[in-house]
């Protein structure tokens, strides 16, 4: 438990990032954290690396005092992935920096009444959406000094906003997983934190939606299997797919026996029941039609679904699992012609299959019975039964 704040010389900086891969070190500018209360580590949101596990009853948190992180009289964004466990209606700190408990001198980003709450002490904004326990969510607090706007964001969606004068304090150590106020009022987080980040600017709505919702993006330009999205979940190939001219820049062409996969379970949200998702890709069948898998999703517990398949007649099928298979049939895809495929699911709209941006077919209302664990994916093949498609 902190007994006092720490005042150090302010140093200009633009960003800081703590990935919590079994330590509290910072990746960019040496804003290294120090843990208190002996926290442990668990599997990261990304399926590789780690996230920090904090227990509020053990007063576990991270403090950053090696350099002063400056929030005063400037725009900023603080964000993290959180996995709350058994939070109460009390405050549970995500980020904090407190010089004094007077207006505009004490920064706190917390869960309060199970809602996101961010402010400068008596100058605060609250969200309106109840946090879900035992599930990863992306959270952000943004202050824009140009518009004097204070915002909280949940999973890439604006959850609360108000006009606000700027934060004024230029001292006090940064805390992660705890907000500090004079003893005994320290408020600790209970659960996991991952991918915590600070930037000295107000991120846009597009940027926050990108980080919160784009999980992977493979362009395949130049045959690259690197993830172009925010998470660095790179893929691996088998059978040597070839780089060819694509619909946008370059693409991969798969001959029989070739496929691309992620070789560790890293797709957390595909394992969450009824969690909304979108899968989008360009597809051009070549050669001749055959029964084949375009996208296969698998969990190590024995759960697997061929999410996108093609029939021997050339029809594309979107598949999901609700305790039994649910198939949504699409059109025959012409050979040697690029078509954009969109497969979306939400509890409200169920399965929707889009062809070139237009809804082609939908399922009836269904519950998505997911694996309950991290999944992996395989493109252009099924790693279990080895069926392939040229795309």
Let me know: does 182 contact 172? Beta carbons within 8 Å.
no
CATH number for the domain that contains residue 92: 2.60.120.200
Same domain, 155 and 205: yes
Same domain, 247 and 186: no
Strands 242-245 and 250-253: antiparallel
d(Cα 306, Cα 382) in Å, to the nearest integer? 8
In a domain, 3, yes or no: no
Residue range of the domain that includes 254: 221-379
Same domain, 261 and 311: yes
Same domain, 346 and 313: yes
Same domain, 122 and 180: yes
Sign of CA dihedral 199, 201, 204, 206: negative
In a domain, 281, yes or no: yes
In a domain, 5, yes or no: no
First-to-last alpha carbon distance for the chain, in angstroms, is 57
Same domain, 277 and 311: yes
pLDDT, tens digit only, all 391 positions of the chain: 222 223 333 344 479 999 999 999 999 999 999 999 999 999 999 999 999 999 999 999 999 987 888 899 999 999 999 999 999 999 999 999 998 889 999 999 999 999 999 999 999 999 999 999 999 999 999 999 999 999 999 999 999 999 999 999 988 899 999 998 765 678 999 999 999 999 999 999 999 999 999 999 999 999 999 999 999 999 999 998 999 999 999 999 998 889 999 988 999 999 999 999 999 999 999 999 999 999 999 998 889 999 999 999 999 999 999 999 999 999 999 999 999 999 999 999 999 999 999 999 999 999 999 999 999 999 998 865 333 333 4
Strands 106-112 and 178-180: unpaired
Token pair 């998470």 is found at 231
In a domain, 180, yes or no: yes
Same domain, 179 and 67: yes
In a domain, 385, yes or no: no
In a domain, 184, yes or no: yes
Give the 3-state DSSP-derived string for 72-108, with helices as H, strands as E and coil as C: CCCCEEEEEEEEECCCCCCCEEEEEEECCCCCCCEEE
Same domain, 177 and 251: no
d(Cα 88, Cα 190) in Å, to the nearest integer? 10
d(Cα 100, Cα 181) in Å, to the nearest integer? 8
Instruction: Give pLDDT, residue 252.
Output: 96
Instruction: Give pLDDT, residue 384.
Output: 54
Same domain, 94 and 228: no
Structural domains counted in the chain: 2
Instruction: Tell which of 189, 213, 237 closes a domain.
Output: 213
In a domain, 79, yes or no: yes
Same domain, 132 and 188: yes
Same domain, 149 and 68: yes
Instruction: Tell which of 213, 247, 282 closes a domain.
Output: 213
In a domain, 9, yes or no: no
CA distances for 43 relative to 22, 47, 178, angstroms: 10, 6, 21
How many Cβ atoms are within 10 Å of 318's Cβ, its own excluded?
Answer: 29
199 preceded by a cis bond (ω within 30 of 0): no
Instruction: Tell which of 183, 213, 243 closes a domain.
Output: 213
Predicted model pTM: 0.91
Same domain, 129 and 246: no
Residue 31 DSSP SS3:
coil
């Amino acid at each position: 438990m902190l007994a006092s704040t720490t005042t150090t010389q302010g140093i200009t900086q633009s960003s800081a990032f703590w990935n919590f891969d079994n330590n509290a070190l910072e990746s960019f500018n040496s804003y290294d954290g120090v843990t208190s209360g002996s926290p442990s580590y668990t599997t990261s949101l990304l399926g590789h690396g780690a996230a920090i596990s904090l227990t509020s009853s053990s007063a576990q948190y991270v403090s950053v005092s090696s350099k002063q992180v400056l929030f005063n009289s400037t725009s900023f964004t603080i964000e993290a992935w959180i996995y709350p466990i058994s939070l109460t209606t009390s405050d549970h700190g995500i980020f904090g920096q407190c010089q004094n408990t007077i207006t505009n001198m004490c920064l706190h980003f917390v869960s309060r009444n199970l809602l996101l709450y961010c402010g400068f002490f008596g100058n605060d904004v609250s969200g309106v959406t109840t946090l879900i326990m035992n599930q990863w969510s992306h959270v952000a607090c943004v202050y824009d000094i140009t518009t004097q706007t204070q915002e909280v964001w949940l999973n890439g969606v604006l959850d609360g906003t108000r006009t606000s004068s700027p934060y004024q304090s230029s001292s006090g150590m940064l805390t992660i997983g705890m907000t500090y106020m004079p003893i005994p009022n320290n408020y600790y987080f209970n659960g996991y934190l991952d991918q915590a980040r600070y930037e000295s600017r107000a991120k846009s709505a597009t940027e926050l939606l990108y980080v919160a919702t784009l999980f992977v993006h493979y362009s395949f330009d130049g045959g690259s299997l690197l993830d172009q999205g925010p998470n660095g979940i790179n893929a691996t190939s088998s059978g040597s797919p070839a780089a060819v001219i694509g619909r946008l820049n370059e693409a991969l062409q798969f001959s029989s026996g070739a496929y691309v996969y992620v070789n560790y379970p890293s797709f957390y949200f595909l394992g969450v029941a009824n969690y909304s998702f979108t899968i989008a890709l360009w597809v051009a069948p070549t050669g001749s039609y055959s029964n084949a898998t375009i996208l296969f999703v698998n969990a190590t517990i024995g759960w697997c679904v061929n999410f996108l398949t093609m029939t021997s007649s050339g029809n594309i099928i979107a598949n999901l699992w609700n305790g039994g298979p649910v198939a949504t049939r699409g059109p025959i895809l012409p050979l040697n012609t690029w078509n954009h495929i969109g497969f979306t699911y939400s509890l409200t709209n169920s399965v929707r299959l889009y062809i070139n941006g237009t809804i082609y077919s939908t399922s009836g209302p269904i519950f998505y019975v997911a694996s309950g664990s991290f999944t992996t994916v395989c493109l252009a093949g099924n790693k279990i039964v080895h069926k392939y498609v040229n795309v």
